[in-house]
Chains A and B, each alone.
Chain A
Amino acid sequence: MSENSTAEEIIICQDVCKWFGDFQALKDCSLRVKAQEVVVIIGPSGSGKSTFIRCINRLEEHQAGDIIVDGIPLTRDVRNIEQIRSEAGMVFQQFNLFPHLTVMENITLAPIQVRKMKKEEAQETAMGLLNRVGIPEQADKYPGQLSGGQQQRVAIARSLAMSPKIMLFDEPTSALDPEMIKEVLDVMQELAETGMTMLVVTHEMGFAREVADRIVFMDGGEIMEVGTPEHFFTNAQHERTKLFLSQIL
């Protein structure tokens, strides 16, 4: 790691710890992600994967250690937090689209409000993004009128509308019916190919194997093992990694 210059390391987490009351959810988690890298985080449920990526845009507050995103240290300073949030898009398991706004309004709200973009310009960008995720014809519908897969693709477009440097995915396909998982994974794969830096928590091993540059295995709040997909699926070192993979594959 040390030979890489920090300039191209866009996410730096050093000894991050997080407690929920007395329960320690994250134990000294350290991870460096380079620009344009796709990192997939896997692990059993309750292992702290979601908590970890939610710390990176401060949806959860870490209590010890350092997180630096694109050179901005994540502190209690609200300006830093807002800056990091507008550079890191997030996609949630439950989509979290705004049900009272149309698809178009969902996507253009943040660019207009936060980036102070002109409405027409924001709508143009949004149409481009909807084309990219393959549902331009749904622009004027409400989220409740779309299928789960379509909603998740809108959520991805909504995040991309802020032109983020990083995308965080928190189990993006876990709430989807099986036949809709692929359409979302396809969009994510296309995104990875265009060079987006991505941090993905998922149970989709096929996606991890094909798209990830590196895979992180977490268990019990610790990062147990980091490596390339080949390393992981053929030559996992840690006992718990092997156990987990044997259960899931």
Chain B
Amino acid sequence: MTTVAGTPSDRSVLPITERYTVLGWVRRNLFSDLFNSLLTLVALAFIVFIARLLLRWAFFTAEWGVIPANFNLIMRGQYPATEAWRLWLVIHLLGGVVGITWRLISGQFSGAARILIAIPFVLMLIPFFSMGTRLNLLIAAAAAGAGFYIAGHMPIQRRGRAAAYLLLAYLVVMLILLRGIGAEEGPMPPVQPILWGGLLLSLLLAFFGITLSFPLGVLLALGRQSKLPAIRVISVIYIEFIRGVPLISLLFMGQVMLQLFLPDGFPLVDRVLRALVAITLFSAAYTAENVRGGLQSISRGQYEAAQALGLSTYQSTMHIILPQALRAVIPVLVGQFISLFKDTTLVALVGIFDLLGIARTILANPDWLGTQQEVYAIIAVLFWIFSYSMSYASRRIEQRLGVGER
């Protein structure tokens, strides 16, 4: 025990060198010794170098005119301009639904809610937007606020269930609005899905690909663990076959070869729908393997405890095994869903105009030759925004469910 003479150390106070200060942090983490200081400087130089290049390109070289000129195309493809109000209505309703479900599930206006409500206002700042667009964004924000307010003043008993029904109803209304209903001359003429495009189509493919492949994947994972040999063999064959072929080959199968197998005169399913089916079947096989990983992480004791209590196989699967297995694989599943979202760009190769397909048509237009960098940069930013949102949302869900704590 050596103490510096004359300075009696007070052991109940955090030593000054351990206290949190900006300088202290910098010193401890960036310049702790010669080698680290050197690394910090090199990294800093590299970051400045890259940032300068990027900023110089973005502000002085890039010809951003291509984006406003093709904005509608990027957003909704060849969806007719006269029917664009239907898309806006879909967005307004989305605002309302988000507001209501947020109140029902979370209850409070905090953190992430502020970010959500800020989105329309931030978008309104985009310089080339028309007044009409800004007004529509304002309506969406107002709908969200109204939904949040109204849901707080309604005596709803089963909040989770109410939110689920609301989402389901919204999906139905959304599809009717998008697809149209009634006669060609009516107020809502049909718009064939092949005309849907751009961001609209990419999001729809991803959303329905995820929501449809998830239950199918869970069933396949359970099937693979089944005691019944027939179910097990079918599941294994399906999973291993699908995982053995690339998605693009399934897409081509759906577009080109499906007709060969169907009887003559069989009404052909819409091409976009065929692509969606291919994506769903593909994703389900991967979901199944991820969920299987979760199932295997459940200890035998859990099965035994459920059995000993007299729960049937179905009951123990629904109440004991699946809830735990799915929680364990949330990060993996979200990773897979993000990759599914990005994989939807492959439909561009079979002649469907999703975000990437639209980018290619814009670049093929002689007016916009040589604007690859600008167009692809915007496409990348759009993909990043949505992928990152999914990843952020999943982390929030994990926190709420307390994964890793319980």
Q: Using CB atoms and an 8 Å cutoff, list the residues of chain A in contact with chain B.
A: 57-59, 82, 85-86, 88-90, 92, 94, 96-100, 109-110, 113-114, 142-144, 155, 158-159, 162
Contacts and interface: CB of A to CB of B under 8 A. Distances in A.
Contact of A114 (B311, B327, B402, B405): B311
B314 to A, nearest CB: 10
B319 interface: yes
A158 B406 CA distance: 19
Given A99-B406, A100-B406, A109-B319, A59 B304 contact: yes
30 contacts: A57-B308, A58-B307, A59-B308, A82-B312, A86-B310, A88-B308, A89-B308, A89-B309, A90-B305, A90-B308, A92-B308, A96-B301, A96-B302, A96-B304, A98-B302, A98-B305, A99-B406, A100-B323, A100-B406, A109-B309, A110-B310, A110-B311, A113-B315, A113-B319, A114-B309, A114-B311, A114-B312, A143-B406, A155-B305, A162-B309
Contacts of A98: 302, 305-306, 320, 324
Contacts of A88: 308
A99 B324 contact: yes
Contacts of A162: 309-310
Given A85-B310, A92-B301, 17 more contacts: A57-B307, A82-B310, A82-B312, A86-B309, A88-B308, A89-B308, A92-B305, A96-B304, A98-B320, A99-B406, A100-B327, A109-B311, A110-B311, A114-B312, A142-B406, A144-B406, A158-B309
Interface string B300-339: 0110111111111001000110011001000000000000
A94 B305 CA distance: 10
Contacts of B405: 144
Nearest to A97: B305
Contacts of B406: 99-100, 142-144
A140 to B, nearest CB: 13
**Which has the most chain A C-beta neighbours within 10 Å: B304, B306, B324?**
B304
A85 B307 contact: yes
Which 10 pairs across A and B sit closest by C-beta, in order of nearness? A86-B310, A96-B305, A96-B301, A110-B309, A90-B308, A85-B310, A114-B310, A142-B406, A144-B406, A113-B315
Contacts of B302: 96, 98
A45 B20 CA distance: 55
A203 B123 CA distance: 70
A187 to B, nearest CB: 18
A89 to B, nearest CB: 7
A57 B311 CA distance: 13
A113 B305 CA distance: 14
A98 B322 CA distance: 12
A142 B306 CA distance: 17
Contacts of A97: 305
Contacts of B304: 59, 92, 96
**Which has the most chain A C-beta neighbours within 10 Å: B305, B307, B308?**
B308
A96 B309 CA distance: 11
Given A92-B301, A96-B302, A114-B315, A85 B323 contact: no
Given A144-B405, A144-B406, A85 B320 contact: no
A241 to B, nearest CB: 30
Contacts of A86: 309-310
Interface string B250-265: 0000000000000000
B44 to A, nearest CB: 44
Nearest to B302: A96
A89 B304 CA distance: 12
Interface in B4-62: none
Contacts of A90: 305, 308
Contacts of A58: 307
Nearest to A90: B308
**Which has the most chain B C-beta neighbours within 10 Å: A59, A88, A142?**
A59
**Which has the most chain A C-beta neighbours within 10 Å: B299, B304, B305, B307?**
B305
Nearest to A93: B301
A89 B311 CA distance: 12
A98 B406 CA distance: 10
Nearest to A144: B406
Contacts of B309: 85-86, 89, 109-110, 114, 158-159, 162
Contacts of A114: 309-312, 315
Nearest to A114: B310
